[in-house]
Amino acid sequence: MYVVANLASNKIEGTQGEKLPGEFFGANGKFFLATPTGVPVEVSGASTLTPQISGSIPYEIAHGFLDRNPNYDNVLWNFFVETSDIAQLDQTPGAPTPTGANVASGFLPTMVGSSLGPRFQIGRSAGPASVGIAPNSIALLPANTKTSGTDQYGSIVFATIDLTPFNPLNPGTDEVLVWWKIARAVTSQDISHGYLSTAGENSPSLRRLQETAPNFPGFHVYASVDDGVSWYECKYLRPKDLAVAGTNFRLAFINEGSEKLFVLGVAVLFPNL
């Protein structure tokens, strides 16, 4: 299910059912919060998006996901709906990224990260609204194969999250379960009056999202509990053993494919030790 909100007012407009892979849905002036399959979310006229506290839609989605997986004790989430969500993305040069040398389990990247920092796109730069607040516009860039050296993958790396407050007496975890939602986007041209075959046409630019399989070719997800020293590939909705417990959690997405992918949301479950 998708919760639909107005992009200008941040108000919830309603819901839409799950989409089939490849299905398009209009996104002009609106954005979508995806829910993991089977997670019930009650939406009413009193529902809110922010602040993300108990009763808000993002909180209820994340904790509904946790409730359906009783083997886990805690949940982290990001739907990229406010400034604090964008602040969770590490934009600094030198941010730790998965490589063929530091991936302890799973797919070994065949490309490298950029030395200028993770290669992704936030929704909006400085302006009248808060930086980056444009939900459904966080983009994982495609691979850059035009460099003079090694090809570079697109990447999103989350800043370090200290897991200690979740269980102070025995902090950390050694396992995660990750859910995510990605999509492709198509935007048509804004045509006014046109020429020859488009003469007299006046068509606005239309943006559509396309439902995309979570295991899209070239897309990989990694988790770390030692601040990016070692990484473990996470398969969609499959428990991942991180071998050695740690408290400094990071998540990374990489894209070795040729298409830009938009990250609509992510949630991570983890148990106490």
For 47-74, the pLDDT digits (tens) are: 999 899 999 999 999 999 999 999 999 9
Question: 18 is written with which tokens?
Answer: 């799950």
Q: What are the C-alpha distances in Å from 144 to residues 95, 109, 206, 258?
A: 18, 14, 27, 8
Q: Over the stretch 113-148, which tens digit does the pLDDT of each residue have?
A: 988 889 999 866 555 555 545 688 899 999 999 876
Side-chain half-sphere exposure of 30, counting CA atoms within 13 A: 18
Question: 243 is written with which tokens?
Answer: 């071998």
Q: Which CATH architecture fits 78-188+203-270?
A: Sandwich (2.60)
Angstrom distance (rounded) from CA 180 to CA 140: 13
Q: 10 Å Cβ neighbour count for 257?
A: 17
At 45, the pLDDT band (50, 70, 90 cuts) reads confident
At 202, the pLDDT band (50, 70, 90 cuts) reads low
Query: What are the DSSP E strand ranges found in the chain?
Result: 2-6, 12-16, 24-26, 30-34, 74-78, 103-105, 120-121, 139-140, 154-157, 161-162, 173-187, 191-193, 201-203, 207-211, 219-224, 231-233, 240-246, 248-255, 261-270
Strands of the sheet containing 2-6, edge to edge, are 12-16, 2-6, 30-34
Angstrom distance (rounded) from CA 105 to CA 235: 11
When pLDDT is averaged across residues 231-236 and rounded to a whole number, the result is: 98
At 200, the pLDDT band (50, 70, 90 cuts) reads low
Q: What are the C-alpha distances in Å from 108 to residues 76, 98, 145, 232?
A: 25, 8, 18, 10
Nearest to 216 by CA among 19, 33, 22: 22
Angstrom distance (rounded) from CA 262 to CA 216: 12
Residue 191: what residue type?
A: I
Q: Is 206 helix (H, G, I), strand (E, B) or coil?
A: coil
Q: For position 163, what pLDDT does the model report?
A: 98
Q: What are the C-alpha distances in Å from 104 to residues 88, 215, 229, 243, 256?
A: 24, 20, 10, 9, 19
Q: pTM for this one?
A: 0.90
Nearest to 76 by CA among 3, 151, 153, 165: 165
Contacts of 216 (CB under 8 A, 6+ apart): 182, 257, 259, 261
Question: 117 is written with which tokens?
Answer: 């920092």
Q: Does position 230 have pLDDT exceeding 60, yes or no?
A: yes
